Structure 1
Amino acid sequence: MEVHRVQALAESGLSQVPPQYIQPTPSLRTTSSSSVPLIDLSSSTSSSLLRHIPAACKDWGAFQLVNHGVPDRLLDSIRSVGLGFFGSPIESRERFACDPRRPASEGYGSKMLSKSDVVLDWRDYFDHHTLPLSRRDPDQWPDFPPNYREVIVEYSEHMKVLAQKLLGIISRSLGLGDEYTQDAVGEVYQNITISYYPACPQPELVIGLQPHSDMGAITLLVQDDVGGLEVLKDGEWVLVEPLKNAIVVILADQMEIISNGQYISAQHRATVNTNRARLSIATFYDPSKSRKIFPAPKLVKEGSPARYREVVYGDYVSSWYGTGPDGRRNLDALLIQP
């Protein structure tokens, strides 16, 4: 299967986008001046956090997090090694190419789905399988820049700690025990995806990443200063303004199921621009494929019946890759009642 690297296309000097990248109904304009909530994790009291978290999770399914405990120098390092990889010769990058015939295979890629009839995203990426340790094989990761693998390992650990802390806070805010959501998710499967969105001669015709909600439990995303991440709120796309060393927290589909719809998974997308390439790093915190996910029994009661059917997470993943990143279609298919 022939794979075209978007970065190579962009750097070839083309003035028009190839047809396989053109969206069928371009409607990519950001239409809202709202702001995604900003939450300070160093807030002096847990009661303050528990006041702000529910509104962000109910209304947005996303928020920006500051004073999160991840060292600034590590955030700089992960962006630096990502740029180092995508700035290397394409022959070096291709040594780590993923298998384009297998969805979610580890490595350097440009096409998330193996289907041939999909409109392509204006994006290249590198996906790392980092947790559990039985999945981790640093030999599958680039060895350039020289500290690349070391940075990914350290970053993985910090993201695990932060995700666990956030799941505890979210669980408490729902009136569940501190450990409930972590126990519901079970053994964590963590992937770290570094995405590179090249500058585009016709950004109004393409999309960096299709509108979608994430499959798993929670996603932690670090941006550069370019901007392009957008969240859907009340039918309008809202730009998530880059804040230096903030982490964007995105609730994913399994969290909406566990919360019985009290909290929402955020539908989001990535746009591109004419002048500057953009880099982002997303860390996905997901259940194991065999885990059964269902609404927390404490949140199912008279007047508030279960809104979602139980699902085995592996089946959910298969369905997601079968249809592709198409808004919230996969989650909505589990609804018992609208």
Structure 2
Amino acid sequence: MEAVTRVQNLAESKLPHVPAQYIQPLHDRPTTQNSSLNIPVIDLSTPGDFLRGALCGACREWGAFHVTNHSVPLEVLRRMRRHGRSFFEETPMPDKLKYSCDLTSAASEGYGSKMLVSKNDTVLDWRDYFDHHTLPLSRRNPRNWPESPSDYRRTVEEYSDQMNALAERVLGLISESLGLKRDYFKDLVGEFYQNITVSYYPACPQPELTLGLQSHSDFGVITLLIQDDVGGLQVLKDGEWVTVEPLDDAIVVLLSDQTQVITNGEYISAIHRAITNPNKARLSVATFHDPAKTVKISPASELVSESSPRRYRDVVYGDYVSSWYTKGPEGKRNLDALLLNS
């Protein structure tokens, strides 16, 4: 059994102060954010040229945006949120612990609290999570997922397939917005390795000292995220943290590091984090879409020219992931290590 303190247990013990290992360094603590901004909202039913133009602006300026009219049944989104919350709030702790992650592996499936298993000095996130391995189908083993509610496993499978289809659709539109063929990302990346992570952020007695998730950009290709009505996701824009206000029927798109490399920096991966709430628990569901570990990622040759020289060196995706887990999350320092000297 995993000998890790669960953040939910700490919260339910009504401690007046958070333990020292959850206190962020002064420069990383939440500050007053820019409330006048929000990430773009893109209607996927918009006619072609207008849609591509909107995507181009959002991908260049933000690396993050909401999508609406995305064709994913809203009932599936709501059921996924509901079942995720049920695991954390209705399942007895002994039953939850049956699904504990393997502490010796950073990529272990199941119920966990500490992301970087090899770094003992890392400040901890105020978060518990359940990670599901969902694609390729050879990785998908529903017996590793909760049994309750009775349709939990079916819901995760359905949600996985819907998110996979949406990720392919959005990346196709992003390819076209750059003048690339629609299947450019699909041909380069191949079959997605998809993980679905349900994150649970309990109410925190000192939200001004903690983070639910530290500042980072995702290391794969594209992340699709839904959150509940509590909110807490923040995206960094021009040096300011912008809170992503929840939209019940929308899905948040976060571009990841490999997309910034493939687009030669034309489009940016989103630096983001999660803040905590003093009164309410928050839940989000992030679906990560990554290449296989053996895939080599490089800038698209069509986007490299004399006026736009190559900015990133090639990288084997598995090497990039290993570096990320070794160094830990901190903005884009892992991506910046791939920059070519000019």
After TM superposition, is the score higher than 0.5?
Answer: yes
CA distance in 2, matches of 1:27, 1:77: 33
- 2:265 aligned with 1:247: no
Preserved contact between residue 29 and residue 210 of structure 2 (Cα < 8 Å): no
TM superposition shift of 1:13: 1.1
**Which residue of 150, 155, 158 corresponds with 1:154?**
158
**Which residue of 89, 104, 112 corresponds with 2:92?**
89
What is the SS of the residue equivalent to 2:194?
Answer: strand
**Which residue of 113, 117, 120 corresponds with 2:116?**
113
Preserved contact between residue 208 and residue 271 of structure 1 (Cα < 8 Å): yes
CA distance in 2, matches of 1:326, 1:282: 19
Q: Where does residue 317 of structure 1 map in the other structure?
A: 321
CA distance in 2, matches of 1:19, 1:77: 36
**Which residue of 295, 301, 310 corresponds with 1:297?**
301
TM superposition shift of 1:181: 1.1
Q: Where does residue 13 of structure 1 map in the other structure?
A: 14
Q: Where does residue 75 of structure 1 map in the other structure?
A: 77
TM superposition shift of 1:30: 3.7
What is the SS of the residue equivalent to 1:203?
Answer: coil
Unaligned 5+ runs, structure 2: none
What is the SS of the residue equivalent to 1:201?
Answer: coil
Preserved contact between residue 224 and residue 286 of structure 2 (Cα < 8 Å): yes
**Which residue of 277, 290, 295 corresponds with 2:281?**
277
CA distance in 2, matches of 1:18, 1:54: 43
TM superposition shift of 1:320: 0.4
CA distance in 1, matches of 2:312, 2:73: 38
**Which residue of 225, 230, 235 corresponds with 1:231?**
235
Displaced runs of 4+ in structure 1, greater than 6 A?
none
Q: Where does residue 291 of structure 2 map in the other structure?
A: 287
What letter corresponds to residue 94 of structure 1 in structure 2? L
TM superposition shift of 1:302: 1.1
Preserved contact between residue 222 and residue 245 of structure 1 (Cα < 8 Å): no
TM-score by length of 1: 0.98
TM superposition shift of 1:145: 1.2
RMSD (Å) for aligned C-alpha atoms: 0.9
Residue by residue over 1:77-124, the C-alpha shift from the partner in whole angstroms, topping out at 9 and shown as x without a partner, is: 001110110011111100100112210210000000112110000000
Q: Where does residue 40 of structure 2 map in the other structure?
A: 37
TM superposition shift of 1:146: 1.0
CA distance in 2, matches of 1:100, 1:18: 21
CA distance in 2, matches of 1:203, 1:27: 9
What letter corresponds to residue 25 of structure 2 in structure 1? P
TM superposition shift of 1:186: 1.4
CA distance in 1, matches of 2:188, 2:275: 33
State the identity as a percent: 61
- 2:266 aligned with 1:265: no
What letter corresponds to residue 16 of structure 1 in structure 2? H
CA distance in 1, matches of 2:266, 2:305: 13
Unaligned 5+ runs, structure 1: none
TM superposition shift of 1:34: 1.2
CA distance in 2, matches of 1:167, 1:301: 23
Preserved contact between residue 29 and residue 211 of structure 2 (Cα < 8 Å): no
TM-score by length of 2: 0.97
What is the SS of the residue equivalent to 2:37?
Answer: coil
What is the SS of the residue equivalent to 1:204?
Answer: coil
Residue by residue over 1:20-44, the C-alpha shift from the partner in whole angstroms, topping out at 9 and shown as x without a partner, is: 100111531242121110100111x
CA distance in 2, matches of 1:317, 1:98: 19
Q: Where does residue 59 of structure 2 map in the other structure?
A: 57
